[in-house]
């Protein structure tokens, strides 16, 4: 379990993380999201003791990372898959890390199998693709069979099969009762992997809720209604509490009523309908709405103030 209480990190005059409180609990995948400069990387570095908080606290399984006598058995982290000596083979790299905690070669070979590295285990890491480097980073994180895992962009560089494998693998780890904190910029993948989301913006938490709740708050289901009687139908639907917008002259976007109720109201008012299509809000849409004021750069190129 990961618990942050009023966690703050300042670099000179810049506040990278600003008094955040959150938890990542066992048995679920907690997605850790935010625009570039939101404070995600700094927070993950503080979890594993690479940065020291300016104030507040963050613990793993009840203690600060540095106070664990065998931290590799408590938390496994994949923060930078390239932080490996390129001259070593994958197996030798894992053996070296394992030796720091008296972990035997049997466990090394086990994580090599778990992460699909058998065919390249004795090859030098400098020749690895980005995807193979990610698999090696996962293997390293798993060496101590930890109860808590912190994974920063684990699908970066993987092909579609690899992305699906990571999703199933991470879900399996959570199903075993482990705590998984997962950072990614792929919203479609996060929607299929995470149970809960913590979203940062400018060093502060802007959302901390289940994925289903965040999607519901984003507007739930919108129904597209194509009709030549837009004005008539819009008036009737608004009288029943619907929210209406007009993306096109003959197309209504309706919130607050389902397709069946819209069809009933249209029939009651003599409105002709050519199309009635429900669209569920996507996680990407919900994320963009939540973070639109916290991005470092907008698409037009206007700089925004960054944290770190």
pLDDT range class, residue 295, cuts 50, 70, 90: low
Rounded distance between C-alpha atoms, residue 196 and residue 213, angstroms: 9
CATH number of the domain encompassing residue 44: 3.40.50.300
Q: Are strands 2-11 and 14-24 parallel, antiparallel or unpaired?
A: antiparallel
Do both 160 and 240 map to the same domain?
Answer: no
Do both 13 and 83 map to the same domain?
Answer: yes
CATH number of the domain encompassing residue 274: 3.30.70
The pLDDT value recorded for residue 305 is 39
Look up the domain containing 18 and give its range: 2-216
Do both 236 and 190 map to the same domain?
Answer: no
Indicate whether this model's pTM tops 0.95. Answer: no
Do both 112 and 183 map to the same domain?
Answer: yes
**153, 187, 155, 193: which is closest to 287 by C-alpha?**
187
Rounded distance between C-alpha atoms, residue 37 and residue 296, angstroms: 7
Provide the number of structural domains found in the chain.
2
Do both 30 and 45 map to the same domain?
Answer: yes
- Residue 32 vs residue 281, higher pLDDT: 32
Q: Is the pLDDT of residue 304 over 70?
A: no
Do both 227 and 205 map to the same domain?
Answer: no
Do both 76 and 92 map to the same domain?
Answer: yes
| DSSP-assigned letter for residue 8 | E
Q: Is the pLDDT of residue 288 over 90?
A: no
Tokens of 54: 């300016």
Task: Write the pLDDT tens digit of every residue in 1-46.
Answer: 999 999 999 999 999 999 999 999 999 999 999 998 999 999 999 9
Do both 14 and 55 map to the same domain?
Answer: yes
Rounded distance between C-alpha atoms, residue 52 and residue 161, angstroms: 38
């Amino acid at each position: 379990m990961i618990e942050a209480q009023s966690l703050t990190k300042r670099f000179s005059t810049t506040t990278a993380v600003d008094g955040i409180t959150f938890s990542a609990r066992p048995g679920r995948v907690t997605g850790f999201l935010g625009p570039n400069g939101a404070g995600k990387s700094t927070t993950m570095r503080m979890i594993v003791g690479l940065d020291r908080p300016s104030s507040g606290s963050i613990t793993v399984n009840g203690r600060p990372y540095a106070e664990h006598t065998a931290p590799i058995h408590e938390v496994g982290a994949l923060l930078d898959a390239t932080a490996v000596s390129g001259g070593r083979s994958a197996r030798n790299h894992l053996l070296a890390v394992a030796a720091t905690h008296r972990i035997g070669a049997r466990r090394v070979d086990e994580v090599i199998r778990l992460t699909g590295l058998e065919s390249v285990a004795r090859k030098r890491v400098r020749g690895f693709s980005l995807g193979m480097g990610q698999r090696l980073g996962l293997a390293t994180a798993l060496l101590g069979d930890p109860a808590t895992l912190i994974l920063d962009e684990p699908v970066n560089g993987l092909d579609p099969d690899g992305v699906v494998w990571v999703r199933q693998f991470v879900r399996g780890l959570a199903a075993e009762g482990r705590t998984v904190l997962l950072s990614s910029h792929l919203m479609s993948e996060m929607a299929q992997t995470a149970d809960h989301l913590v979203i940062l913006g400018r060093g502060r938490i802007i959302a901390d809720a289940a994925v289903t709740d965040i999607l519901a708050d984003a507007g739930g289901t919108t129904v597209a209604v194509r009709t030549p009687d837009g004005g008539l139908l819009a008036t009737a639907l608004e009288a029943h509490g619907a929210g209406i917008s007009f993306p096109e002259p003959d197309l209504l976007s309706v919130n607050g009523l389902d397709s069946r109720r819209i069809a009933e109201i249209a029939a009651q008012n003599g409105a002709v309908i050519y199309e009635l299509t429900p669209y569920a809000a996507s996680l990407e849409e919900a994320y963009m709405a939540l973070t639109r004021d916290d991005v470092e750069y907008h698409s037009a190129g206007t700089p925004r103030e960054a944290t770190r």
